Structure 1
Amino acid sequence: MCISKRWSGITETHLEHVSKTVNDVYNDLSKWICQSTYIVGHGLENDLKALQVIHENVLDTSLLFPNGNKGKYKLKHLAFRYLKRNIQQHDHGHNPQEDALAALDLVQLRLQKGPNILQNTPDRFSIFSFLGHFQKKSMLIGPEHLVRIIRAGCKSRISCESNEAAFQACLQHLSQDAPENNAHLLWIYLQNEYKQSESTSSNALKSLADHLLQLYHAATENTAFVIVGGNKDLRKLKKLNHFHRHFQLQMFVVPFLK
């Protein structure tokens, strides 16, 4: 028998002397559950299939909070997104009490707020907000207009008028005497300072390569060095994605308790 303790919290030793049958489990559950009882949980179809049970009143958070696609959100994601709560943080398996409490709180929130909560809660977080939630430091270096826009989660921001100034600010941060004070994420945003011509493009690429090499050598060991290319105007694409998201939510409207 192969059991993943990390996910289930159960080891082979726990099951070694188990003697209860499925009928015994039915009798135990019947003490707590009747036909009018509402069962609350996350992904309950797996539990009900294992027990070979059909129940009329089920409040499943994986259905109450649909993601608009074929898949389902994990309970850990829903707890973080709607409850601002971190669960399942340990390596010795899920805590049933922790998961049950999160599911109950999610159902209560859904009943209080109604379907509007699915649209009013952002589906995505900026990487700065995500890191800030876990007490990880981040720094943004770039043009002033971008620094003003990106505020949430990013407490350290340096505005620079040119790419050269941005590179120097980044190098200064990486070269400070106390590396432990460095940001966990250092994001440098570069501007297009050159007109499109063969000569200027060649010079720009050489200058960019030189600066990137300086940053690479200044970074500490085990640093993830990521280069992301630019993109075009995505406003039309975002508008289409909004329509698609709205349509998917209408397809997954879940009946409510009154």
Structure 2
Amino acid sequence: MDEIRDLSLHIIADAPPPNWLRIDNAPCFQNVTVLLIPGLTTEILSLPPFPTSPCHACPTRAPGDQTRMHSVLNTFFTAPISATEKKKREERKENCNSHFPSERLQSNDPAQYLLTKEQMIEHDYPLPSYTADVFQKPDDTWVETPEESRESLLTAPDQKKKPARKIYSIDCEMCMTEDGKELTRVCIIDFRSGTVIYDQLVKPSKPITDYLTRWSGITAEALAPVTTTLPPATDPSSTSDDSSTPFLTPILLGHSLESDLRALKLCHPFCIDTAVIFHHPRGRPLKPGLAWLTKKWCGREIQTHGEGGHDPEEDARACVDLLQKKLDNGPAFGEFKTDYESIFERMARSKRRAGGPMGSIKGAVIDHGNPSVMHGNKATTMLKALLEVVPSHHFVFARFMALANILGLMKGLRPKQSSDSTPQEPAPPPAAEQLGTVLDALNAHLKALHSALPSRTALIIFTGHSDPRRMAALNARKAAFETAIRSGKPSDGLQPEERWTAAHVRELESAVEVTKRGLLFLGVKP
């Protein structure tokens, strides 16, 4: 995937030439259009198994480790910062520190670490509808933080400066019910005062089937007298006790906060996530664990209670301390040397290879928004949007998902069941007539797009991966087995279909390698 990304950047921007492909007269290219079409497998195309015989499709390999495939989109859209650019940034930083030593203190504002809309979409956050229409609330029990009024953003005449926005650190614990994991405890800490302003057990709406005590710390005895239900816990802003202060939507802080918001059934616009603003030592798309971050950067250990489970107050305070470390030491604190940037950042500071001033490359992405929801653009809408932007943009990326959806491939990448549930069998394959209809529509869309491409456009089509369902099923079985063992069940007491053996490990590694295989097609519009 990184080589496909670098090929695109070489054609349209200033990246070096690839070492696996020779491109003559690269400056003659005016545009690049990149299409990701999952589901376009060798079986669909009736191609021989690659690489046993030559064909016009180039084999590709998705990123990942032995047991998992990493995000194809993340790899394509993020590129390592070059050594030259890294040196320039370090020089700018040194100059800034030497001439303006107090600048960091003046910009010591937690708001600089707020997740962008794009980051929230990427990390599967439940966004309010007024922020981006990419998340569909599953039912009426969900709450959406009201949109901030314009009046609340204005400083009153008798105020010298606008009041500080509240910041609440949140951590939730869940237990298992017949509907999956549900909230059973929530702790909220005021970032600036360190005061616990809310710490309550919450009664789930459905009967509990597993208290998950090893992680949640919740027991049947502790939850027995509890009558508090979810709604009172879903509005952190209601904890404000200063009625004379204009209401400002608070900032919520947490670690992998999207999980807590989903447990609270809350859509919130302003979030800081310590799993995002701090880096994993091996880089994206891996996320660092909270216990590791706290030991690494705060010098203390948390989550050491063993069978007693996690303490949500302890975890929430860890997030407070980590954010404070960022504020004390600057944005680079907690980051590692493997720096990445968006390919659009790269294009913005590059000249077009075909000629033009710095920053003249216009790019567009035509996509579905949040892939986990799949209620966004349909194929015909995608085509219409593509036809509108390809004449006026130098770089265009689009993703066609109809084929992957009818084949059920996205369910393999994002399984609905939790790691504690029994793995589900893949859905049966679509009828030949249904598949034929989708393929005919895909062909028609590609023909229409090719006809609309400007002259001297490079067309790059890649599939990203093959069928991930076997890999996903094995990973689900592995997770279910590990959960059973952690809950105290003896391995010899499990049913044969629940066990995880060395043979399954080898099968998973083989399935992952098969899943990583993809196809690449290259073309030029004369």
TM-score category (smaller protein) = 0.3 to 0.5
- More RCO (CA 8 Å, sep 6+): 2
In terms of fraction of residues, the more strand-rich structure is 2
In terms of fraction of residues, the more helix-rich structure is 1
Give me the TM-score of the superposition, normalised by structure 1: 0.44
